[in-house]
């Protein structure tokens, strides 16, 4: 089992729809600047292909996440690993005490540079989403801010 990232879990629970917060908070990496979740993703896809998980178990993106993906998501060149019909979209959630009410919100990619310059530290969680089949998975977690410059 993964340790809980209490910082994210506490913020997520009030800001993000429940199913999303549940699985985001099940990951950890609070002490690392960049955490890549490729291994966890591979494990989940292996379970799907082996029949231990149903497609409905992994293609369950919340409507709010889908809306964010369509409106402010960053389209990638990577095809969806489940349906292969659509390329994945990245949606970034940001957390930080200094963000106050805005902590835990979806952040447009082109606004991250401003956060990096103006905040001491914010944690960014990048979720990959397929807007066709609703596959979604945490892709990366990283830290931005003046504390991490250089
Ligand atoms: Zn898909």
CA of 35 to the centre of ligand 1 (A): 23
Chain-centre distance for alpha carbon 110: 16
CA of 56 to the centre of ligand 1 (A): 12
CA of 129 to the centre of ligand 1 (A): 8
In the block, tokens 């292909």 appear at: 49
CA of 83 to the centre of ligand 1 (A): 4
Mean pLDDT over all residues of the chain?
83
pLDDT at residue number 109: 86
CA of 31 to the centre of ligand 1 (A): 32
CA of 92 to the centre of ligand 1 (A): 19
Cα 76 from Cα 109, distance rounded (Å)? 12
Contact 103, 94 (CB under 8 A): yes
CA of 101 to the centre of ligand 1 (A): 32
Which residues does the chain have with pLDDT short of 70?
1-32, 150
pLDDT at residue number 150: 63
pLDDT at residue number 29: 37
Instruction: Give 82's contacts (C-beta < 8 A, 6+ positions apart).
Output: 45, 48, 55, 58, 59, 130, 133, 135
pLDDT at residue number 83: 97
Q: Which of 98, 96, 83 is nearest to 136 (CA)?
A: 83
CA of 113 to the centre of ligand 1 (A): 29
CA of 19 to the centre of ligand 1 (A): 18
CA of 79 to the centre of ligand 1 (A): 8
pLDDT at residue number 110: 87
Q: Phi and psi at residue 24, in whole multiples of 5°?
A: -65, -40
pLDDT at residue number 33: 73
Please write down the HEC assignment for all residues of 128-140: EECCCCCCEEEEE
CA of 37 to the centre of ligand 1 (A): 18
């Amino acid at each position: 089992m993964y340790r809980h990232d209490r910082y994210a879990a506490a913020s997520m629970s009030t800001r993000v729809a429940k199913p999303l917060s549940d699985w985001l908070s099940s990951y950890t990496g609070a002490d690392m600047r960049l955490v890549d979740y490729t291994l966890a993703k591979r494990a989940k896809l292996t379970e799907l292909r082996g029949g231990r998980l149903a497609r409905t178990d992994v293609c369950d993106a919340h409507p709010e996440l889908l809306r964010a993906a369509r409106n402010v998501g960053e389209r990638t060149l990577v095809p969806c690993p489940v349906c292969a019909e659509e390329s994945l979209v990245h949606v970034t959630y940001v957390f930080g005490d200094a963000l106050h009410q805005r902590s835990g919100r979806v952040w447009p990619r082109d606004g991250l540079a401003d956060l990096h310059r103006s905040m001491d530290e914010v944690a960014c969680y990048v979720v990959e989403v397929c807007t066709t089949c609703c596959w979604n998975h945490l892709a990366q977690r990283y830290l931005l801010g003046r504390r991490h410059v250089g």
